[in-house]
Homo-oligomer: A and B are copies of this chain.
């Protein structure tokens, strides 16, 4: 894409009152626009990143046999009353409710979905009669709404945010546990593809379940969570529920435990029979006995993941996107001074390079803007954070053959290579 055609521009100033690093960089670079506290619009660059994250998540959960649906945001009161969550727990604490309702509905009878256990159970029960209909796995990638009291962390804690929620339905605990292990593996793949090293920790069940749950945490100095973990990876637990503290011994290997700051990027809840019993979701087993369906749910915040990546991958100049979720693979800068006798040749070489890379199937943001100094273009490129930087300047054009300067976003030195070599480097890095 030509940067001259991109309708957003970088901003010099961080927006007022914005303190979180991800929100500052993402707004300055033109990825998101703030509508209210905790509510953001995704601009063209930001939507490209979000869609890449969503597609990675889709691929990995479809690979473990999950089927995609899209449930409604609007939630009828009745199904939440069946589980008791309309007036306590999640429904009381974070659900937006009582929108002024249309005819035929009394005030307070509609909510905005903060999660979808009630709705999916209410749907799935229509299609499950016997053990032969189980197991089944259903997910959606959707917008969730939660009345967060203090949404001050940019995309990390939004009132409106993107989420992948997966629900599994089983005839027995053993089958649920087998799937739970598959989801864990899929989650590690997802985080790895997004450039993140995740740690699996035990945590409390929040409003979802009474037992323990698993959280996926990524280490970050700006994270809101605290985890107690073993340096060898043998133990990790959310500080909230950990009986041992930093300085204590790992219960598995005896190493000295550490406390780390982290960002929760995913979670897994064993729901057991809680929702199936409340919502009348039963099946007949092989012996013809009626039993409640065993359930699990698996959350992953897609927009939060985007925020977490920025918290972790940046320097003081801007974002450094991991390759697989970057808005573009390469940022091609055309540097020219109108005074130069080479101006026309530099422009021509830049256009040739852009066409060449596009034909090779490489996604390129081409900074073809006129009247911007090299300094401005480099500063914008650093802020936007596309992983590979290509430069066509007077110096490059003066050499023999079709060349380009290339470097990674966070590398110090550029090197001059032929166009073919540049394409080879970029295509090798493709996932």
Q: How far is the CA of A136 from the CA of B149 in the complex (A)?
A: 37
A98 contacts which of B33, B99, B102, B149 (Cβ < 8 Å)? Answer: B99
| A258 contacts chain B at the CB level, 8 A cutoff | no
Taking the nearest CB of chain B, how far is it from the CB of A369, in angstroms? 11
CB-based contact B47/A69 at 8 Å: yes
| A138 contacts chain B at the CB level, 8 A cutoff | yes
Binary CB contact string for chain A from 283 to 324 against chain B (1 if under 8 A, 0 otherwise): 000000000000000000000000000000000000000000
A100 contacts which of B5, B96, B136 (Cβ < 8 Å)? Answer: B96
Binary CB contact string for chain A from 24 to 47 against chain B (1 if under 8 A, 0 otherwise): 000000000101110111111001
| A8 contacts chain B at the CB level, 8 A cutoff | yes
A47 contacts which of B70, B126, B160 (Cβ < 8 Å)? Answer: B70
Indicate whether A69 sits within 8 Å of B96 (C-beta atoms), given known contacts A35-B74, A74-B36, A145-B74.
no
| A76 contacts chain B at the CB level, 8 A cutoff | yes
Indicate whether A147 sits within 8 Å of B97 (C-beta atoms), given known contacts A70-B42, A72-B35, A127-B7.
no
Taking the nearest CB of chain B, how far is it from the CB of A83, in angstroms? 16
> Which residues of B have CB within 8 Å of A151?
102
Indicate whether A35 sits within 8 Å of B67 (C-beta atoms), given known contacts A98-B100, A100-B98, A143-B143.
no
| A148 contacts chain B at the CB level, 8 A cutoff | yes
CB-based contact A124/B7 at 8 Å: yes
A99 contacts which of B35, B65, B96, B149 (Cβ < 8 Å)? Answer: B96
Indicate whether A99 sits within 8 Å of B100 (C-beta atoms), given known contacts A7-B127, A74-B159.
yes
Interface size on A, residues (CB 8 A): 58
Q: How far is the CA of A39 from the CA of B47 in the complex (A)?
A: 26
Taking the nearest CB of chain B, how far is it from the CB of A414, in angstroms? 30
| A110 contacts chain B at the CB level, 8 A cutoff | yes
CB-based contact A159/B42 at 8 Å: no
Indicate whether A119 sits within 8 Å of B71 (C-beta atoms), given known contacts A7-B136, A96-B100, A99-B96.
no
Chain A positions 67-110 with a Cβ under 8 Å from a chain B Cβ: 67-76, 96-104, 107-108, 110
Indicate whether A72 sits within 8 Å of B41 (C-beta atoms), given known contacts A97-B99, A127-B7.
yes
| A163 contacts chain B at the CB level, 8 A cutoff | no
| A241 contacts chain B at the CB level, 8 A cutoff | no
Residue of B nearest to A30 (CB): B127
Taking the nearest CB of chain B, how far is it from the CB of A373, in angstroms? 17
| A232 contacts chain B at the CB level, 8 A cutoff | no
> Which residues of B have CB within 8 Å of A96?
98-101, 110
| A50 contacts chain B at the CB level, 8 A cutoff | yes
Q: How far is the CA of A72 from the CA of B32 in the complex (A)?
A: 11
Indicate whether A97 sits within 8 Å of B100 (C-beta atoms), given known contacts A70-B42, A72-B39.
yes
| A395 contacts chain B at the CB level, 8 A cutoff | no
CB-based contact A9/B127 at 8 Å: yes
| A365 contacts chain B at the CB level, 8 A cutoff | no
Residue of B nearest to A9 (CB): B127
Q: How far is the CA of A150 from the CA of B105 in the complex (A)?
A: 12
CB-based contact B72/A160 at 8 Å: yes
| A123 contacts chain B at the CB level, 8 A cutoff | yes
| A6 contacts chain B at the CB level, 8 A cutoff | yes
Taking the nearest CB of chain B, how far is it from the CB of A310, in angstroms? 18
> Residues of A with Cβ closer than 8 Å to B?
5-9, 33, 35-37, 39-44, 47, 50, 65, 67-76, 96-104, 107-108, 110, 112, 119, 123-124, 126-127, 133, 136, 138, 143, 145, 147-151, 159-160
